[in-house]
């Protein structure tokens, strides 16, 4: 299965796509590829320019992708 994701770059828009991915994960029994722009980073090395990242958001994103076994 392949899913394409775009997560809006605002606080309210970021939770809804994750809930959709969590809901879909219950139906995935094989390999799963999720591609897109999540507008999150996992580590400080992923940040190039702009405002400093929110460490709490980085942790949430890290745990979300690992909890869903996306990595």
Give 18-30 pLDDT, tens digit per residue.
Answer: 788 888 888 888 8
Q: Measure Cα distances from 3 to 35, 47, 58, 63, 70 in Å.
A: 6, 24, 22, 19, 11
pLDDT, tens digit, for every residue of 40-66? 888 888 888 888 888 888 888 888 888
Query: Would you list the domain boundaries of the chain?
Result: 2-67
Tokens 């996992």 sit at which residue? 42
**Which DSSP string corresponds to the chain?**
-EEEEE--SSHHHHHHHHHHHHHHHTT--S--EEEEE-S--SSGGG--SSSPPPHHHHHHHHHHHHHTT--
pTM of structure:
0.70
């Amino acid at each position: 299965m392949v899913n394409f994701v775009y997560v809006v770059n605002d606080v309210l828009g970021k939770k809804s796509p994750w809930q959709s991915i969590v809901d879909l994960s219950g139906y995935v029994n094989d390999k799963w590829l999720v591609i897109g722009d999540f507008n999150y980073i996992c580590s400080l090395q992923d940040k190039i320019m702009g405002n400093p990242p929110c460490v709490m958001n980085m942790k949430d994103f890290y745990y979300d992708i690992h909890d869903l076994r996306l990595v």
